[in-house]
Structure 1
Amino acid sequence: MSADGVRQRNGKNGDVEFEVEPVVKLKRNVGIISGTSFIVGSIIGSGIFISPKGVLTETGSVGLSLIVWGASGVLSLLGALSYAELGTLIPKSGAEYSYFLEATLPVIAYLFSWTRTIVLQPSGVAIICMTFASYMTTFFEYCGSPVPPEKLIAVLAIFTLCIINCYDTSWAAYVQVFFTAAKLIAIAIIVIGGFVKLGQGGHVELQDGFKGTTDSPSRIALSFYDAMWAYDGWNTLNFLTEELKDPFKNLPRANVFGVTLVTIVYILTNISYLAVLGADGLLASSAVAVDWGKEMLGSAYIIMPIAVLFSTFGAANGLCYSSGRMVYAAARECHLPEVLSFVHVKRYTPLPSVIVTCVIAVLMVIPADIGSLIDFFSFAAWLFYGMAVSCVLVLRIRRPDAHRPIKVFILIPIIFALCSIYLVLAPIIQDPRLEFLYAFLFIIGGLLFYIPFVVYKLDRGCFDKVTIFLQLACEIAPSPYVPDDLN
């Protein structure tokens, strides 16, 4: 059978006949509601329960901290709009990887897939699941039961996510919708509690305004780092464009709806934190949502750890879903082992790529501290974000006549790219460390595999037997990219 599913055979009269067989490919199971849920669910993880303290610390004032939260939402929206143009112009799964492949040299796409596959996304899944595990242990303590090791809980959570995402894309979408709705209900409690406190005079805590505002550009940049970490995930839907129903309409709509909703929620949640705890209470808190619950809900504060559990599990599911699609897209272009681009013949899920992502995530749970590992590579994420949005400008020049269902105002990608440069350079200027050099060397180190295996295609045949074995054992088949008629 050829890549497009057409097979030639001899007919009864000796004539050549052709028959079309179904192509094994990803199914379009993600609609506008589930798509928006993927964005909201991926963004709202543990960040809103951790980052407010860091943002307030760096900005030095209540007023500037709220401005940073709002500006971070606007920056995310600019990125989402730019990605909407890219995603409808290049309707392939893989997000940044596919855009780099079309607009720049393939080596840039490879280095992105190398960095994100090995470190950024698996470690993100690991950290979110470890946060999930740390809050899960509070229930064992509350019930007086023996507390299991946090890492064991984290590993079980990763395995659960792996099973869900390997079994059916619809399952993963349903899980995302449920946990997104659950976490929004929990955050709605915080927002409503904030309005109640404001009605009781809590607005006094907000009257300090811009008192104590920092005048350091570097500290303001670091505050954006804290806030933008909480917004990370705004590009999730672009990783699964091939599974999105009517992507020309639903991709931009879901991006705008999702990011706008999160921005409003984040600002109102921070106002609630400040109204209930005050600036000093927020800075002194190690678990702001729990302390807020103790202040406003009394003995019912246990609701807040439940909210964090829903929030983190939903975010981990969205990240696991998108991570597998990036590996799938890179493997389809032979930038990773080709078997990782295969799809289950019955479930139509990218089973090998999801499993690889989860296995690496489990391995990253084992070390005592992986938070420092993420810090080493945090600037790399914004480096690639800025480069990806710059692809809008590159493709406007290289493919000026291409059909663009969405065409954003040219200043949008320019502003985002400039902000990305600032966010990459500011922490290095503020606190230059060897870790940044190590991260750069790791990214470039991907060339050690790219040159022999991708450029010169050395020893590729030696993996054929392994590929055949995995095909038979896992019931997977190649999944060539076949464009849909979306017009």
Structure 2
Amino acid sequence: MAVYVTRRRKVEEDLTIDVVFLCKKIIRFRIMVDFWSSFKTMQSDQQSLNLKREVGLIGAVSFIAGTMIGSGIFITPQFVLSAVGSPGASFFIWASCGLLAILAGLCYAELGATIPESGGEFNYILKTSGNVVAFMFTFSYTAIVRPASATGVALAIAENVLAPFYGDCVPPPVLIKCIAAGCIVVFTAVNCLSVRLATIVQMVSMAMKLLALTVIVMGGVVMLFLGNTENFHNSFEGTNFGISQFGIAFYQGLWSYGGWNTLNYITEELKNPQVNLLRAVVIGVSLVTGLYLLVNVSYLTVMTPKELMSSPAVAVTWGNKVFGNWGWIMSVAAALSAVGTLNGTFFSGGRMCFVAAREGHMPDILSMVHVERLTPSPALLFTALVSLLVLIPGDLQSIVNYFSFTAWFFYGITISGLLYLKIKKPNLHKSYKVPILVPIIVVIAAILLVLAPIIDNPQTEYLYVISLILSGAIIYIPFIHYHLCSGLLTKPTQYLQILLEVAPEEK
């Protein structure tokens, strides 16, 4: 009996030792798991504070072509033709705008290879012209260029959506603006949620708009084979040779080509930018130029110049003539095409605000990244807010003119910076160099585009735009250079960080 008790105690002691040993093992394993989880969380948090390279060559081409092919080609051909007065002159404008976009894109590709950072013109002007001019661009860009672009595209989407319901009547302006505001909100949300989601939207929209333009081109080819060529006889008859008319026509045409510089705003999110930036520019802009010329040919095989000039939406009128009762399909196609442009506009515009804030030219909150989604959501929300404000008083044609005037003013300054780098710093390492004649041609074209409408037909609206551009220098000196009232935004920034779940990017 004593032996049995002794053995039983021995077994219990051994079992206790085993249980204790097992518990220690479990605790150690749990500590290791917790440590590894903490490490992965820290690593994930570190990654979440940086923008990622997720845009490949196909996505890059989609962003360029998808942003360029939007509302313009479905709406502005009548404005171009009305300005110059003849089909032949309008073809000259469309081809010249495409050539200018390609040359400017090649210059921007070299700038992107030289300064491989996101932010587009802001970074290039900052590195070549200094802080004051860079802030003037930032101020003008956030107040005019990007909101005007986004608002114009949103208005075009709304007009195309409503066109089938109102026929030849003009839809109520309030309804148009309400739908446009909804579009701005939706695509701001898409870009805030995910870079990958925005890229997918861009690719799908690109496929839809290529399909729509292919239908228009094929319809025009059929009409040409049927002998509808009368609108091309004496095609330069009635041309308006005024400088102002050609300037306005270029503004309207270049609006349709807007987006050739999209990738320069997202260079830090582009895979292998030294190679893909140039390839995407050449492929995307060349593709769009060819399509635009063919589409304009198709328009004039179906409609007379007078019908085209009086049409509220060219693609819809073309669809009604070719498809009859099914003409509303072209209205839907035009709206879907503009969707990609609006998506790309927010994608690139948010990055510019983000980079400008990172350099101290805008409030710190705009330089922060969402800790989980890896998107510059504060900058995107700010761009959307300003766009909604511009939408209240704006109309499409005025918005296009202000956008083109301001944009080409700064394109000229940016490419002048490339000339400066070529002359003063010829030994900079670059993976790609454009002949010096190309930036010279683009700078001359930019000067003519800015000065021609003012000299030939001065209007007070251009004076307001110039005053707004120059006021950036007045704001820069006290508030940015001398940091006047810099402490006022500390508390709001902290509250917005918590509300939006954002943090500063880690280099």
Query: Is 1:34 aligned to residue 48 of structure 2?
Result: no
Contact 1:100–1:391 (CA<8 Å) still a contact in 2? yes
Pick one of 107, 122, 126 that aligns with 1:97.
122
Instruction: For 1:141 and 1:442, locate their aligned partners in 2 and report how far apart those are by CA, in whole Å.
Output: 38
1:246 deviation in Å? Answer: 0.6
Per-residue Cα deviation, 1:147-167 (whole angstroms, up to 9, x for no partner): 993322222211110110001
Instruction: For 1:374 and 1:190, locate their aligned partners in 2 and report how far apart those are by CA, in whole Å.
Output: 24
Query: Is 1:232 aligned to residue 258 of structure 2?
Result: yes
Paired residue for 1:112? 137
Task: Letter of the 1:78 partner, please give it.
Answer: L
Paired residue for 1:77? 102
Contact 1:120–1:374 (CA<8 Å) still a contact in 2? no
Instruction: For 1:139 and 1:275, locate their aligned partners in 2 and report how far apart those are by CA, in whole Å.
Output: 23
Contact 2:152–2:399 (CA<8 Å) still a contact in 1? no
SS at match of 2:427: coil
Instruction: For 2:181 and 2:251, locate their aligned partners in 1 and report how far apart those are by CA, in whole Å.
Output: 28
Instruction: For 1:334 and 1:474, locate their aligned partners in 2 and report how far apart those are by CA, in whole Å.
Output: 20
Pick one of 121, 136, 155 that aligns with 2:146.
121
Paired residue for 1:167? 193
Paired residue for 2:390? 364
Provide runs of 4+ in structure 1 moved above 4 Å.
139-142, 368-371
Provide the aligned C-alpha RMSD in A.
Answer: 2.0
Pick one of 124, 134, 137 that aligns with 2:162.
137
Per-residue Cα deviation, 1:276-331 (whole angstroms, up to 9, x for no partner): 11323222322211111111111211111011111111111111111101100100
Task: Letter of the 2:139 partner, please give it.
Answer: W
Pick one of 71, 84, 90 that aligns with 1:65.
90
SS at match of 1:343: strand
Residues 475/161 of structure 1: CA separation in 2 closer, same or farther (3 Å cut) = same
1:373 deviation in Å? Answer: 5.5
TM-score (norm 2): 0.87
Contact 2:138–2:356 (CA<8 Å) still a contact in 1? yes
SS at match of 2:266: helix
Instruction: For 1:217 and 1:473, locate their aligned partners in 2 and report how far apart those are by CA, in whole Å.
Output: 52
1:368 deviation in Å? Answer: 6.1
Paired residue for 1:255? 281
Query: Is 1:425 aligned to residue 451 of structure 2?
Result: yes
Contact 2:122–2:134 (CA<8 Å) still a contact in 1? yes
Residues 118/220 of structure 1: CA separation in 2 closer, same or farther (3 Å cut) = closer
Task: Letter of the 2:153 partner, please give it.
Answer: I
Map 1:462-477 → 2, pairs under 5 A: 462-477=488-503
Instruction: For 2:102 and 2:223, locate their aligned partners in 1 and report how far apart those are by CA, in whole Å.
Output: 30
1:107 deviation in Å? Answer: 0.6
Map 1:286-325 → 2, pairs under 5 A: 286-325=312-351
Query: Is 1:355 aligned to residue 381 of structure 2?
Result: yes
Pick one of 402, 412, 415 that aligns with 2:438.
412
Instruction: For 1:192 and 1:214, locate their aligned partners in 2 and report how far apart those are by CA, in whole Å.
Output: 31
Map 1:126-205 → 2, pairs under 5 A: 126-138=151-163, 149-205=175-231
Paired residue for 2:425? 399
Paired residue for 1:458? 484
Paired residue for 1:7? none
TM-score (norm 1): 0.90
Paired residue for 2:505? 479
1:440 deviation in Å? Answer: 1.4
Contact 2:251–2:405 (CA<8 Å) still a contact in 1? no
Farther off after superposition, 441-450 or 209-218: 209-218
Task: Letter of the 1:27 partner, please give it.
Answer: K
Query: Is 1:337 aligned to residue 336 of structure 2?
Result: no
Task: Letter of the 2:356 partner, please give it.
Answer: A
1:470 deviation in Å? Answer: 1.9
Instruction: For 1:231 and 1:329, locate their aligned partners in 2 and report how far apart those are by CA, in whole Å.
Output: 24
Structure (1 or 2) with the greater helix fraction: 2
Task: Letter of the 1:159 partner, please give it.
Answer: V
1:140 deviation in Å? Answer: 5.5
Residues 41/475 of structure 1: CA separation in 2 closer, same or farther (3 Å cut) = same
Count residues in correspondence.
460
Paired residue for 1:22? 46
SS at match of 1:404: coil
Instruction: For 1:370 and 1:456, locate their aligned partners in 2 and report how far apart those are by CA, in whole Å.
Output: 39
Gaps of 5+ in 2: 1-41
1:371 deviation in Å? Answer: 5.0
Gaps of 5+ in 1: 1-18, 483-487
1:474 deviation in Å? Answer: 1.6
1:104 deviation in Å? Answer: 1.0
SS at match of 1:213: coil
Task: Letter of the 1:65 partner, please give it.
Answer: S
1:29 deviation in Å? Answer: 1.1
1:212 deviation in Å? Answer: 2.6
Per-residue Cα deviation, 1:251-292 (whole angstroms, up to 9, x for no partner): 111111111001000000000001111323222322211111
Structure of larger gyration radius: 2
Instruction: For 1:437 and 1:291, locate their aligned partners in 2 and report how far apart those are by CA, in whole Å.
Output: 36
Paired residue for 2:35? none
Paired residue for 1:15? none
1:213 deviation in Å? Answer: 3.1
Instruction: For 1:190 and 1:243, locate their aligned partners in 2 and report how far apart those are by CA, in whole Å.
Output: 34
Percent of matched pairs sharing the same residue? 43
Pick one of 298, 305, 311 that aligns with 1:285.
311
Instruction: For 2:286 and 2:347, locate their aligned partners in 1 and report how far apart those are by CA, in whole Å.
Output: 22
Task: Letter of the 2:140 partner, please give it.
Answer: T
Paired residue for 2:353? 327
1:377 deviation in Å? Answer: 5.5
Per-residue Cα deviation, 1:140-193 (whole angstroms, up to 9, x for no partner): 569xxx999332222221111011000101111110111111011001100000
Residues 298/139 of structure 1: CA separation in 2 closer, same or farther (3 Å cut) = closer
Farther off after superposition, 358-367 or 244-253: 358-367
Instruction: For 1:182 and 1:377, locate their aligned partners in 2 and report how far apart those are by CA, in whole Å.
Output: 26
Contact 2:422–2:436 (CA<8 Å) still a contact in 1? no
SS at match of 1:25: coil
1:437 deviation in Å? Answer: 1.5
Instruction: For 2:164 and 2:52, locate their aligned partners in 1 and report how far apart those are by CA, in whole Å.
Output: 38
Instruction: For 1:75 and 1:374, locate their aligned partners in 2 and report how far apart those are by CA, in whole Å.
Output: 18
1:31 deviation in Å? Answer: 1.0
Instruction: For 1:371 and 1:74, locate their aligned partners in 2 and report how far apart those are by CA, in whole Å.
Output: 23
Instruction: For 1:67 and 1:191, locate their aligned partners in 2 and report how far apart those are by CA, in whole Å.
Output: 19
Per-residue Cα deviation, 1:200-220 (whole angstroms, up to 9, x for no partner): 001232122322333434433
SS at match of 1:208: coil
